[in-house]
Structure 1
Amino acid sequence: MTMPMPDDHPLGPPADERSWVRVATELAAGFAATTDEADRTARLPVENLRALHAGGLDQATLPRELGGQSLSYRTVGAVLRVLAAADPSTACLWLMHIGAAEGLVRHGTPELARYYADELIAGRRFANALSEPSGGNQFLSPQQVAEPVDGGYRLTGAKRFVSGCEIADHFLVNALVDGQPTLFGLEPDHTVTFEPQDTLGLRATRSHLVGLNGTVLRSDRRCPPSPVPKPNHIAAGLAWLSLGIADTALDTLVRYARGRTLPSTGRPLADEQHLQFDVADAVLRLEAAALVAHNSAWLADRDSPHFLPSALRAKPTANRVARDIAQLCLQVGGGSGFVATSPIQRIFRDAQTGWLMAHSVEFCLNHIGTEVVRAPGEQP
């Protein structure tokens, strides 16, 4: 549909990692068969997550010194796009899973890093629990205070939109400790509760509100502060979720356009020039968004200081094109695409989620616009 990236393109997955994209592609073919049913019932695609682990993708994301293959951000992005095209909820769950594990491995002491790496290799589940109900986009700047107690810090509060929380063995959480944002690994106990939040899109992620009711954050699970911000899978991966959704929206749009016949002409809707123009515009925008995401992943692989500004551009660019192509897909599907049994309505709902996930499009636009407009050296 869009122009494929040549295997030897410098922004694509490294040659020695392309087999992982093939693994994801083979698995995704099976995932797609259950996507709509899992969405309808809001059922966690546990079988898909187990298949990804059994295929070696979880472990491959770990550093080599901890038993992994130090899979590049470029490859992780390509894998996420393939998964999201087949089942966006599975892709989102996997991203949050490896992102939380990465955070605990990267920010932990050597002993903690080894422990969490072994847990990931063993098939334990991880969940990312950073966003607070009143925190908005400031998920790295918690407002909830953890008070000192024997053996750690006690936290009463909540984290929202925690994907896969019900099957998580470990959470990556944060809280204010002595006035400073601090990361912890948390193994849920009876003080951790789940309040369902039936989301509009990505329903199979079962992204619930997690209540922390006097939960003790153990001192030996505390992650020391990172001296320098580092790229991470979640920041680098969110754009790829939207790219995969956009791919499926475009494919579905074309299939409907070829199959729908206009009563006035007796010819397929695909023959209409105005639609051909709209589709051409969608293809061009999708290819442009993909290149921005590829560039961002390439910068992450080089641990470049330009990664974060690039990620703040890649995400809204992909979010917008996914939402717009899904809207066009709904228009092409017409009334038949608006009924609950149609995959179009699910694609349309899933396409909205990337826009809202932190950092939201509005947050990214504000950050980019402020940097461009403000005079050099001018303080906010």
Structure 2
Amino acid sequence: MTHVIGSDAEALDVAGKLSQHIAEEAADRDTARRPPRAELDLISGSGLLGITVPARYGGAGAGAATVAEVFRLLAMGDPNLAQIPQSHFVYVNVLKQQGDAAQREFFFGEVLTGKRFGNAQSEAGTRHVQDYRTRLRADGAGDYVLTGEKHYSTGALFADWIPVLALADDGLPYVAYVPGGAPGVEIVDDWAGMGQRLTASGTVRLTDVRVPAGHVVPHHLTFTGPQLHGAYAQLLHAAIDVGIAGAALRDAADFVRTRSRPWFESGYGTATEDPLLIQRFGELTVRLRAAETLLAEAGRAVDAARADLTEDSAAAASIAVAVAKAHADGTAIELADAVFEVSGTRSSLEALNLHRHWRNARTHTLHDPVRWKIQHIGRYTLNGTHPPRHGVI
């Protein structure tokens, strides 16, 4: 039976304990490419997937800052198990913003029983990432038929519901919530990335999938006024990067304490006494603490904007998240690489699988380019220009 979490504090406590548990076999799961179904079931049963359901529907109504910290903790345990539910939280948020009363009642009830949302959003072979060819056609009887093919469908393989982004007959984007086992839905586990190997970010094929009107949400309305959709989604991605960085520093320190020999020129008996290593760990800690602080600040900015949503507050929140994400990307890659710098040759042994931190960081940070975030940050700082209304800032 799925537990229902009642507060932000409880959510953080549960996430911290789960992080420690899923960290225990993270390296072995990655080596074996073992799908983390059992671990996902633990997350579902813990109640974490329902923490953002509003209190009036029976959830904790957790804020963005809390959710970001939950994701950071989970990513420290295993970033695969943090990335898989990222879309879950994003599409619960879509229902909060654009779902009608009946849709919220039904789907929030599903979430509180531990049901998981995946995603079918990105497409390959189109002009750019927001060029969608998947179509949601009216069937003439009040419902819809969905046809298309999606790629990078993180979490779909493990999902009870797959939110599908598609263009309707009016040319505007909608989200159709489709059962994972619906007729016409084919989920192909063909993700073969070097990192984030266990997210099952493969292909979803949709062939004449029937969708009742009550399972379709007008996502295009999200972007007609001040919105936090992109900031919220990006906040969770930033949290995953910060979690990867924290795990890398944790494992590097453990390796140096327990396995490293001192460099002979240091004159010390243990590696932990080497002043050059001490210096480097200090530098890496500063980088990590800065990333954690920027993440927390961004979460608070999103919460503040949600409490008083205006064009200015939405822009400030998006920029705060962009700053956190831009810093987190580089920090995750630097710290994952530094594992080997501070630990020496033995840390490169395949059996240890310490390179998973770098592979995970490098793969996850490819999600969207930081260079465009820097552009929007610069325009905002210099000219007061608000960032655009789309889902990746």
TM class, shorter-chain normalised? 0.7 to 0.9
- 1:204 maps to amino acid: L
- In structure 1, how many angstroms separate the alpha carbons of the residues matched to 2:97 and 2:192? 32
Quote the RMSD (CA, aligned, Å): 2.7
Q: Check if 1:364 corresponds to 2:356.
A: no
* Correspondence for 2:252: 253
The answer to whether the 8 Å contact 2:50/2:114 transfers is no
Q: Equivalents in 2 of 1:145, 1:31: separation in Å?
A: 38
Q: Deviations over 1:227-256 (max 9, x none)?
A: 535435533211111111111111111222
Q: For residues 76 and 385 of structure 2, what CA distance do their matches in structure 1 show? A: 41
CA distance in 2: counterparts of 1:376 and 1:260, whole angstroms: 50
CA offset digits 1:173-211 (Å, max 9, x no partner): 212221212222122423222231112112121111212
CA contact (8 A) 1:261 1:269 kept: yes
- Counterpart code for 1:194: I
Q: Distance in 2 between matches of 1:218 and 1:105?
A: 19
Report the equivalent of 1:53.
44
SS in 1 for 2:151: strand
Measured in 2, the distance between the counterparts of 1:58 and 1:375 equals 37
Moved more, 20-29 or 65-74: 20-29
Describe the shift of the 1:371–1:64 C-alpha distance in structure 2 as closer, same or farther (beyond 3 A). Answer: same
2:129 and 2:338 mapped to 1: Cα distance?
Answer: 32
2: distance between equivalents of 1:82 and 1:95?
A: 13
Displacement of 1:376 after TM fit? 6.3
Q: How does 1:293-312 map to 2 (within 5 A)?
A: 293-302=295-304, 303=306, 304-305=313-314, 306-312=316-322
1:128 to 119, 123, 126: 119
Residues 89-104 of structure 1 mapped to structure 2, 5 A cutoff: 89-104=80-95
User: The residue matched to 2:365 in structure 1 has which SS?
Assistant: helix
Unmatched tracts of structure 1, length 5 or more: 1-15
More displaced 10-residue stretch of structure 1: 324-333 or 217-226: 217-226
TM-superposed deviation, 1:318: 0.9
Report the residue type matching 2:22 in the other structure. Answer: F
- How far apart, CA to CA, are the structure 2 residues paired with 1:135 and 1:321? 31
SS of match in other structure, 2:298: helix
Could you say if the C-alpha distance between residues 300 and 374 of structure 1 is closer, same or farther in structure 2, counting changes exceeding 3 Å?
Answer: closer
2:16 maps to amino acid: T
Q: Which runs of 5+ in 2 are unaligned?
A: 1-6, 307-312, 389-393
Correspondence 1:1-380 to 2 at 5 A: 17-134=8-125, 138-139=129-130, 142-150=132-140, 151-177=142-168, 178-188=170-180, 189-195=182-188, 196-224=190-218, 225-226=221-222, 227-232=224-229, 233-258=232-257, 259-262=259-262, 264-265=264-265, 267-302=269-304, 303=306, 304-305=313-314, 306-357=316-367, 359-372=368-381
Q: Distance in 1 between matches of 2:164 and 2:377?
A: 28
CA distance in 2, matches of 1:136, 1:360: 16
Deviations 1:95-149 (A, max 9, x none): 222322332343211111111111111222211221222468745x634443433
In 1, Cα distance between equivalents of 2:83 and 2:293: 21
Query: Which amino acid in the other structure matches residue 244 of structure 1?
Result: G
Q: How many Å separate the matches in 2 of 1:376 and 1:83?
A: 35
Q: State the aligned residue count.
A: 362
C-alpha distance 129-363 of structure 1, shift in aligned 2 (>3 A): farther
TM norm structure 1? 0.86
Scaled by the length of structure 2, what TM-score is found? 0.83
Report Cα offsets for 1:280-315 as digits up to 9, x if no partner.
222112111212111111011121312112212211
Once residues 57 and 68 of structure 1 are traced to their aligned partners in structure 2, the CA distance between those partners, rounded to angstroms, is 10
- Cα deviation, residue 217, structure 1: 4.2
3-state SS of 1:158 partner:
strand
Q: Please say if residues 252 and 339 of structure 2, whose CA atoms lie closer than 8 Å, have aligned partners that are also in contact.
A: yes
Task: Determine the C-alpha separation between the residues in 1 that align with 2:375 and 2:84.
Answer: 28
Q: Is the 8 A contact 1:59 1:67 kept in 2?
A: no
- Report how far residue 63 of structure 1 moved: 0.6
Larger mean Cα displacement after TM superposition, 23-32 or 232-241: 232-241
CA contact (8 A) 2:260 2:344 kept: no
Sort the Cα spacing of 1:161 and 1:326 in 2 relative to 1 into closer, same or farther, 3 A.
same
Deviation at 1:361, TM superposition (A): 1.9
Equivalence for 2:4: none
Give SS of 1:132's match: coil
Identical columns (%) = 24
In 2 relative to 1, CA 324–46 (structure 1 residues): closer, same or farther, beyond 3 Å?
Answer: same
* Residue aligning to 1:3: none
Cα 1:354–1:134 shift into 2, 3 Å: same
Match of 1:11 in 2: none
